[in-house]
Amino acid sequence: MKISLLGGTGDIAEGLVLRWSKAGHEIFIGSRKEEKAKGIAEGHINKLNELGIKSNIHGMENADAAKNSEVVIISIPPEYAASTIEQISDSITNQIVVTPVVSMKKEGKTFLYSPPAQGSSALEIQEVLPETAKLVSAYHNLPAKELSKVEEELDYDVVICGDDEEAKSVIAKLTEDMPNLRVLDAGPLAVSSMIEAITPLIVNLNIKYKPQHFSVKFV
């Protein structure tokens, strides 16, 4: 598939780029600045080449990345995610859009869930997307450092939600392209607040028990 990662120069984006490239997908890395996106793309290509993995990765501005793809991943900080999507909404038509965005605040040394007025980051983003786009909430709790170790398998669960069953099926398949992840469908997009709210807990545990990398596994 053709997959774009908007704001694809961040930590979680790196792991997704590397693993989906390994699975044979075409990747478009988006950024506010084309030059930065191209530099990041070149770095990923070189890393995969060293591992003997052929890749098809391009760097470009966010709007162009979204326009060229079938699946759009929003790997943008929460304070800019909705506004960025609104600015490039003309580049999004009927694509599947995936949000791992979580709004958090820090009090002292502790991170707390701090959702926007809509109730979740997913619902905030849904407001600025064209009605034809299909939004899926996923990938909130994957540890970025472990995700980027493309030669290793990941024994985690990925909880997803969304209102379009076909779109969720596509994202489930893309997730299963990254061994050894298991997908759990939690239901409609309204559930996203519950999934997002787990993320600050995991962040706090990762800080406290560093260098361990906690995620989610349901047993």
pLDDT at residue 135 greater than cutoff 90: yes
Question: What is the SS3 assignment for 110?
Answer: strand
Give pLDDT tens digits for 168-181: 999 999 999 999 99
Question: What is the SS3 assignment for 85?
Answer: helix
Strand duo 182-185 + 157-162: pairing: parallel
Strand duo 110-113 + 104-107: pairing: antiparallel
Superfamily, domain 2-208: NAD(P)-binding Rossmann-like Domain (3.40.50.720)
Q: Please, which pLDDT band fits residue 12 given cuts at 50, 70 and 90?
A: confident
Strand order in the sheet with 26-31: 56-61, 26-31, 2-6, 71-74, 96-99, 134-137, 157-162, 182-185
Q: Please, which pLDDT band fits residue 71 given cuts at 50, 70 and 90?
A: very high
- Report domain extents, the chain: 2-208
pLDDT at residue 58 greater than cutoff 80: yes
Give pLDDT tens digits for 26-41: 999 999 999 999 999 9
